[in-house]
Structure 1
């Protein structure tokens, strides 16, 4: 008999197209994930996933089961939401997904939420922009926090906080401490960049393109911590969210270069699928995010 847990596991595998990543996401072992998907296939009577080379693909039956999984799990989540409303926030669940640069700010706000509503079970998922948009498309969370809401998705959203983008360097960099640095003065520097498609990378490339500059990218890294370490190791300079390098800047391990046109003032946005009825827990957390505006 097909179980709800099998549906949840299959949905994760189908989204990640990886047993290993699904296991990490669900805090299970890879064999346990594989076994549950195998049992689901046996119950359905058709292969749901096929391996071609090193990649996994959904079969036609897999696509059908995935669509049903979204419907079934979505209805259960709506049931939980309605019951939570009846319980008056004494129990319930809040799921928040954020881009990696927001993980330095959101935990503090979630802490405020948890102190106000200790009966609500909170989960926080951190990923890059591509991973967040994939989860958004599958409606897997209550709220999504990112730098810029893409124009191509159907979303309701609010802007809630500033997210300045700054140029960072090692403390002994020749330009450290200088004022009114021209963008052309850093054009020849080696840059440590976020991966293509990240909000920070998009904002950086847009700025330099407007200045007629094509920066030299020495290294692409997918984590802000790794970028800070690379800059501290004098492998280059970087453009990064000020909040993600806050501790290193305060400790003097990194410095913010005074480059004309920086900081690039951006904002954080909280979004959810358009038309979605957000839960009472999500609505309460939304109020916490917006109260500082």
Structure 2
């Protein structure tokens, strides 16, 4: 056997995505290059690692076992690199953060300078809905989670980052009465929702239920970006976070409709399990946040005050 670490990385990515095309895109390699490396890797085993059925790539049971072994090997190699950097006095390690979907407009700004200063730290950031974020935290799969609503059943510590404001948004050209009634906004106008499990959806449903509004026509989409584009296209209105809509508001693609009781204001919190034994990289990041968060908010998010 004479396989390389590069081949292990490529095969592991193929098994994760079950696609040579997607693997080549994530690895920034050409598809033929990935195919050649897969073939060279396969040639070292007498048992098939993959099979193609109806143009779909599947990983064999043997291939899955090899992928698990490859992951262990690559993790050990990464650990060697981290230990080497540590002996050189450099901060090293891996940060795993799970982020609710709207948080993708927030978290990178709190990470960028830290990552630039500590090149030995690797970042893995998963963007998904609140239910999955809380689940990954509960299972100790991540160091931190970014949420706008704190989980009820977990004992967590956290750092409050900044407010999260949700407004009733319409496309700019939608014709509404000068002072539209809540009946008009919530019963006559189609409303666009996020999918179940989303904190944005929970906040929107809570507001509607609290005010006893009846919603007759709805649409459900699976990301904030999809909701934004649907509202811009005129398919309906929605209660949406201000974060992620700055350009659409400034470009007059969207407009805020004043509604009593809005905006809904929560706070972005970076949280971790109280029982979590934080790594040196995680501790350093928390220290960085406590020192720099106010200046980051002022520099990167001062525009929020322009919209109330």
1:175·1:257 contact (CA, 8 Å) conserved in 2?
A: no
Any idea what SS the aligned residue of 2:245 has?
A: helix
CA RMSD of aligned residues (A): 4.2
CA distance in 1, matches of 2:7, 2:233: 46
1:49·1:58 contact (CA, 8 Å) conserved in 2?
A: yes
CA distance in 1, matches of 2:17, 2:274: 24
Q: Structure 1 residues 59-68 or 214-223, which shifts more?
A: 214-223
CA distance in 2, matches of 1:156, 1:62: 39
Residue 37 of structure 2 corresponds to residue 36 of structure 1: yes
The corresponding residue for 2:256 is 256
Equivalenced residue count is 286
Any idea what SS the aligned residue of 1:43 has?
A: coil
**1:194-217 residue CA offsets vs partner (Å, 9 max, x unmatched):** 456555345545655665755634
1:18·1:56 contact (CA, 8 Å) conserved in 2?
A: yes
2:96·2:143 contact (CA, 8 Å) conserved in 1?
A: yes
The corresponding residue for 2:189 is 189
Q: CA deviation at 1:253?
A: 3.6
Q: Structure 1 residues 169-178 or 231-240, which shifts more?
A: 169-178
Any idea what SS the aligned residue of 2:240 has?
A: strand
1:155·1:271 contact (CA, 8 Å) conserved in 2?
A: no
CA distance in 1, matches of 2:24, 2:148: 28
The corresponding residue for 1:235 is 235
Q: CA deviation at 1:271?
A: 6.3
Q: CA deviation at 1:60?
A: 1.0
- Over 3 Å counting, the alpha-carbon distance change for 1:42 and 1:90 in structure 2 is same
CA distance in 1, matches of 2:22, 2:150: 25
The corresponding residue for 1:48 is 49
TM-score, normalized by length of structure 2? 0.69
Any idea what SS the aligned residue of 1:239 has?
A: strand
Q: CA deviation at 1:144?
A: 5.7
CA distance in 1, matches of 2:25, 2:142: 17
The corresponding residue for 2:58 is 57
The corresponding residue for 1:106 is 107
CA distance in 2, matches of 1:12, 1:150: 32
TM-score, normalized by length of structure 1? 0.72
- Over 3 Å counting, the alpha-carbon distance change for 1:142 and 1:82 in structure 2 is farther
Q: CA deviation at 1:108?
A: 2.6
CA distance in 1, matches of 2:152, 2:93: 32
CA distance in 2, matches of 1:24, 1:173: 39
Aligned ranges for residues 126-275 of structure 1 at < 5 Å? Answer: 127-129=127-129, 145=146, 158=158, 160-161=160-161, 162-175=163-176, 178=179, 182=182, 185-194=185-194, 198-201=198-201, 203-205=203-205, 208=208, 211=212, 213-214=214-215, 216-218=217-219, 220=221, 222=223, 224=225, 227-270=227-270
Structure 2 gap segments, 5+ residues each:
295-308
Structure 1 gap segments, 5+ residues each:
none
Any idea what SS the aligned residue of 1:258 has?
A: coil
Larger Rg: 2
